[in-house]
Structure 1
């Protein structure tokens, strides 16, 4: 296991569209969705849409089949598999929902690559329909974030929790990838020695570009799945080289300190390279 934690958004980052809109459009409920959207929060609208699907006889299998066809850039899966093979700790923080994400990742054969998925609750109830609930219950209280986070999810709070649970002794380095306005808050909380990968010309990119100095981490943009893979692999390689250099430097120092003071003839150091 490497010392790298990679946190992915899901919609328009791992997949190449918004999963809610994809499902609604493909099942032919766009007009009803547009009518309901101004009347209630997004999560509530999607929960209502699932009730409408069920009442119209649309089965869970039909919903899953639509999700299986969701567009994804052909270099995303290789990028995820490569990062996982290198021992990186891969996690998801997404404003989609657990039902979508698990359904799609299982179909793509990459769900085992992720150690943790953080998203809105989504599950099939006893009546056989999907329920979608907010991550933060905005009916009881708000997360009170000053950044442009939706009321149901502050990704910054989730990133804080992930960083707090990772021991400083483990010397973990973070890479955060996202596209939306909700990815701005966690981008501000990633530390100086870490990396933020905003999708170019998407809301998080525009927010960061207004004042890049507010982001403590190094910023590396990407435009599509191919560039995501290239940038991500370069950053993983950069971190590994830096950490190996620290290890070699520490190893040399320890060996130098352990050399007896009465030895007058220099001897070559045996440096461990891996």
Structure 2
């Protein structure tokens, strides 16, 4: 078993990129984006709402090339590139856990030249149908993951631990970085030596205003607002681990 490494776990939307990728694509047609919002507001699960709306997007004439071009221009801070390069040079592993989908994340990372820096992407599977429609399904269907903290499509905490168990590495330190309410669960899986990085002004920050929620995180909790601050904290952690 490999020892002496740090594992960096990241959310994707509004953590590694500066916009929600689902909203970015669905907003290519305002009527489709409005339909998505109506479905979600009416109680349809988020991933299912996206999947249904992507079919509507296709029916309105949006194909693979337009989706790909939109992904290539999603707001991206160069501090993230620097952070990945620094992590690689310091022998840290990177795993992404997201409620987006495989196509979005793969294509954004490839466009930025960063796909090879990531050990694994854990998210909802996406594929192209015969008519050129993007088909997205839930990551988890049967059996249900059973976590009350997470959306039915994906328990990030369970999947984060599952990655660690199957990768054959005994990590010295775990770090998880995110912005959303669904990033709370993996942070509760961290130990006292580990670090949770929460973005200010987002739904995770709101969740952590609750003292009972905050008490469920035994890791060191640190805050960031801009990607440059996230990178700076990751640098500090990896430099400390190297000494």
TM-score, reference length from structure 1 = 0.81
- Listed as ranges, the matches of 1:9-24 within 5 Å are 9-24=11-26
User: Cα deviation per residue 1:202-234 (whole Å; 9 max; x = unaligned)?
Assistant: 222232342333211111111111111111111
Equivalent position SS for 2:242: helix
C-alpha contact 2:100 2:123 (8 A) present in aligned 1 = yes
What residue in structure 2 maps to residue 250 of structure 1? none
What residue in structure 1 maps to residue 34 of structure 2? 31
**CA 1:33 to 1:171, structure 2 compared with 1: closer, same or farther past 3 Å?**
closer
Aligned-residue RMSD, C-alpha: 1.8
Whole-angstrom CA distance in 2 between matches of 1:18 and 1:136: 21
Whole-angstrom CA distance in 2 between matches of 1:42 and 1:49: 11
What residue in structure 1 maps to residue 147 of structure 2? 145
Whole-angstrom CA distance in 2 between matches of 1:86 and 1:134: 34
| Worse overlay, 1-10 or 65-74 | 1-10
C-alpha contact 1:166 1:172 (8 A) present in aligned 2 = no
Equivalent position SS for 2:97: strand
Equivalent position SS for 2:208: helix
What residue in structure 2 maps to residue 254 of structure 1? none
Report deviation, 1:165. 2.9
Where does the alignment leave 5 or more consecutive residues of structure 1 unmatched? Answer: 242-274
Are 1:157 and 2:158 matched, yes or no? Answer: yes
How many corresponding residue pairs? 237
Whole-angstrom CA distance in 2 between matches of 1:189 and 1:62: 39
Higher relative contact order (CA closer than 8 Å, sequence separation 6+): 2
Equivalent position SS for 1:64: helix
Equivalent position SS for 1:4: strand
Report deviation, 1:178. 0.6
| Worse overlay, 83-92 or 203-212 | 203-212
